[in-house]
Structure 1
Amino acid sequence: MTDLRQFQGQRALVMGGSSGIGEATAARFAALGAAVTITGRRETALKEAADRIQAATGTAVDAVRLDAAETAALAAFFAPETGYDHLVLALSGSNGAGPIATLDLDDLAAGFEGKFWPHLRTLQAALPRLNPGASVTFISAVSARAAMPGTAGLAAVNGAIEAMVAPLAAELAPIRVNAVSPGVVDTPWWSGVPEAQRKALFDQYASVLPVGRVGNPAEVGEAVAFLAGNGYTTGTVLEVAGGAQLAKG
């Protein structure tokens, strides 16, 4: 049984915590007793997320506006000698999707600029502030391994993140490094798709997924908390994808 105050006395930093998976992860840490800081690029969205987390958990979280694509801003954020026990990199990007024959390579480059490089820059900047035995958890995506047409570009971005997990776990030990690889999850990431089209897409995915539905952010947040709290797990990519990665005969 999970200790309801598992992270009491520990500090968790969720980069990209203003909505969706990042927000759900921050809420999970807060519910389990951690002192939580969330960051994001949109100040209003951050405040709203912090208010929702406090309403749901009874615990206040710190919200700091920060663009992880800005090296100077990252350096300034990590300048104070604040130690963190858990770092979650939930910096999402949406560029790079489409059939390979017509894929805009500049858009794919923007996909790396929006997700891969901010993950790496943030980790480098955060390293001096990670406590001994801290955990780092990347949020990738199952597109890195699931053979879904039209996702080769997304697979490249997320696959690059996942490829770093094992060597980083070996290099940075005793800091533990893992990743959670979500499948189709109902988050604001899909907000650019019209509602009727989004519902049709979710229904289509639900019809082929072994679990019969798309995921929700809280399920991914629970997986992140598991990896952060399990001191004997490192170098692991945990799939939370409803079976999207499974081969089917």
Structure 2
Amino acid sequence: MSTASTLFAGQRVVVMGGSSGIGEAAATAFAADGAEVVVTGRDRDRLDAAVARIGGKTTGQQVDAADPAALAAFFAGAGTVDHLVVSVSGSAGGGPFAQLDLAELARGFDAKFWPQVRVLQAALPHLRKDGSVTLITAGSSRAAFPGTAGLAAINGALDAMVPPLAVELAPLRVNAVSPGVIDTPWWDRVPAEQRTALFDGLAATTPVGRVGRPEDVARAIHLLAANTFVTGVVLDVNGGTNLATGR
């Protein structure tokens, strides 16, 4: 008879942006391993629904990661945080470079880069000295897909911070997970027929033969938090789309 894992029993994990997709999947993995999990988001109803799905010792806190005062208040009341996952994201900043709206690109930074930086700064005084931080960036930072230069800039800026932060903040461990195309609600803005065609086309040229699922990324986040001998790493979770396949 199988028993529940207790790998993270007695530890507090905060997942910023945990009400859906990758963040929710990560929270589910930690909760299943006995952690006390706090998920955050801006929408109370979505948070409550996510907490119900995740189960375990999970609570939800309504926090706007773009609001420094709200972040300070949240972490002041969060107690000691053993592991922090920052899954705050946005969709602005894409499109052909010649027509790229620079104000839209700035909004992309405001939606993802600056909130992730603000979250980490606000959390630092409350993180366990030898705990972990995992940022969620994106494979666009090191891919070469037309129309993603702006997204590459946003995610590449976060990726570039990981190694120096891992040294500066040691023994706190700082890593990032860089997902490829993952089937999450982030893609709901694309019409269903177009989305299916895109996913099918990518799957056909990806070594593993499919696009990713939130659980694929969650397992990588879980690994980086659990392995106390890994820091300063940006871990690709993309099904091998960055490999030269010859196809």
Structure 1 length normalisation: TM-score?
0.96
> Which letter maps to 1:31?
A
1:55-66 residue pairs with structure 2 within 5 A?
Answer: 59-66=56-63
The partner residue of 1:179 within 170, 176, 179 is: 176
Instruction: Tell me the distance in 2 between the aligned counterparts of 1:91 and 1:81.
Output: 18
The partner residue of 2:111 within 111, 114, 117 is: 114
Output the aligned Cα RMSD: 1.1
Deviation at 1:81, TM superposition (A): 6.1
Report the equivalent of 2:31.
30
Alignment gaps of 5+ in structure 2: none
Moved more, 140-149 or 78-87: 78-87
1:73-222 residue pairs with structure 2 within 5 A?
Answer: 73-80=70-77, 82-222=79-219
Report the equivalent of 2:54.
53
> Which letter maps to 2:107?
A
Deviation at 1:29, TM superposition (A): 0.4
Q: How has the CA–CA distance of structure 1 residues 167 and 225 changed in structure 2, closer, same or farther, with 3 Å as cutoff?
A: same
Aligned length: 243
Deviation at 1:80, TM superposition (A): 2.5
Deviation at 1:140, TM superposition (A): 0.3
1:101-154 deviation line (CA, Å, top 9, x unaligned): 111111110000000000000100000000121100000001000111111110
Check conservation: 2:35, 2:57, Cα contact below 8 A.
no
Check conservation: 1:146, 1:246, Cα contact below 8 A.
no
SS in 1 for 2:129: strand
Q: How has the CA–CA distance of structure 1 residues 200 and 81 changed in structure 2, closer, same or farther, with 3 Å as cutoff?
A: closer
Instruction: Tell me the distance in 2 between the aligned counterparts of 1:196 and 1:50.
Output: 31
Check conservation: 2:183, 2:214, Cα contact below 8 A.
yes
Check conservation: 1:50, 1:60, Cα contact below 8 A.
no
> Which letter maps to 1:225?
H
Instruction: Tell me the distance in 2 between the aligned counterparts of 1:60 and 1:6.
Output: 14
Percent identity, aligned pairs only, is 60
Structure 2 length normalisation: TM-score?
0.96
SS in 2 for 1:163: helix
Deviation at 1:156, TM superposition (A): 0.3
Moved more, 203-212 or 23-32: 203-212
Deviation at 1:248, TM superposition (A): 4.2
Deviation at 1:60, TM superposition (A): 3.5
> Which letter maps to 2:35?
A
> Which letter maps to 1:47?
D
Instruction: Tell me the distance in 2 between the aligned counterparts of 1:239 and 1:48.
Output: 29
Deviation at 1:30, TM superposition (A): 0.3
